[in-house]
Structure 1
């Protein structure tokens, strides 16, 4: 079921809807309700299915998915049975109804604060003040501690300590720049300092550059950029002496199919 929030909902209506659903929330915590169906559960709370749906529409501020499941499974995360069998790990998936909400969720997740790190840095600053350290050494110490410390959850800590894989993937991902003005990486500052201001060669060799310099053989000349990225790899050092290694044009390195 998809709940649809109403327009111009009165706060008193929201309060009344929450009051009606309160007995239902309390009843779900009782062990004896595990064997009841949804209709039996609603009957114990003097609610009809239509009243239940109306209450959900009233209290929700945005559209939401209400999964069809037994009351005993109300605390189970959303999952897909086929993905669960293939992944063989915990899954918590949600059907997206609002692209903006999805963007907000992702942005909030990757920018969430690490309160533990903030408290740790405060202690470092306090200790530096007590030790009469000059400002330069104090900033250096704070910088080192900030770069080495990170707050992690208990789950991530156990996963890393036990050497458990945090993700599994049977496919590699390669970014292929295809824009008219693609993103480029500049050379390191140590190499740029030795170049004159008129020198145009300030960019690192990209995948597109290597594709344009692919060997002049029928095998490579008929190859598109996507196939080149998927089936070829750039080799270095001793690997350049391999049996199937070919030199790129313009001395851009060596490639192996």
Structure 2
């Protein structure tokens, strides 16, 4: 390892880490240091979108286009995006499980065809999700935890 580090001749920033969150913030800010000024840029785009009397969908599209046209992208990243190649690969499967309190969870609406079949007073507009399916799991899976169930579903 020492030989690699000497041959690399790169700048190394070493710190003793006591706070995981502070470490994550540092890493993210280091990775995105070329993106400094983006907040001001996006604020400007949001102001322009609001002044344009656009509906919400077109405001979001305007801000997204503004951002896309202002971000510096490496030639490699641009090539991967153009060829629709994955920027990352993983050897582990990752599943996001929203475990926020139920009243704070976002949800997907049922498809239009399913919504049309509902009665006028129905409030059952949420599509099914992992947590709902987990609560209805078969008796033989009773000992499975939510994480095991979601990763196997």
Answer with 1 or 2: which has the greater Rg. 1
Question: How many residues of Structure 1 are paired with residues of Structure 2 in the alignment?
Answer: 127
How far does the alpha carbon of each residue in 1:51-83 deviate from its partner, in whole angstroms, 9 at most, with x for none? xxxxxxxxxxxxxxxx844796243587xxxxx
Q: TM-score, normalised by structure 1?
A: 0.34
CA, structure 1 residues 158+76, in 2 after alignment: closer, same or farther (shift >3 Å)?
Answer: farther
Cα distance in structure 2, aligned partners of 1:222 and 1:143: 44
How far did residue 223 of structure 1 move?
3.4
Of 84, 101, 106 in structure 2, the residue corresponding to residue 185 of structure 1 is 106
Cα distance in structure 1, aligned partners of 2:9 and 2:145: 50
How far did residue 201 of structure 1 move?
4.9
Aligned-pair Cα RMSD in Å: 4.6
How far did residue 113 of structure 1 move?
3.8
Of 4, 10, 16 in structure 2, the residue corresponding to residue 97 of structure 1 is 16
CA, structure 1 residues 162+175, in 2 after alignment: closer, same or farther (shift >3 Å)?
Answer: closer
Cα distance in structure 1, aligned partners of 2:83 and 2:6: 32
How far did residue 167 of structure 1 move?
1.0
Aligned residue runs from structure 1 range 1-257, under 5 A: 68-69=2-3, 73-76=7-10, 97-98=16-17, 99=19, 100-107=22-29, 109=31, 112-113=35-36, 135-136=52-53, 144-148=61-65, 150=68, 151=71, 152-178=73-99, 181-182=101-102, 183-186=104-107, 188=109, 201=124, 203-216=126-139, 218=140, 220-232=141-153
How far did residue 210 of structure 1 move?
0.8
Q: TM-score, normalised by structure 2?
A: 0.50
- Structure 1 or 2: more strand by fraction: 1
Which structure has more RCO (C-alpha within 8 Å, separation ≥ 6)? 2
Does the residue aligned with 2:87 lie in a helix, a strand or coil? coil
CA, structure 1 residues 211+159, in 2 after alignment: closer, same or farther (shift >3 Å)?
Answer: same
Cα distance in structure 1, aligned partners of 2:59 and 2:135: 47
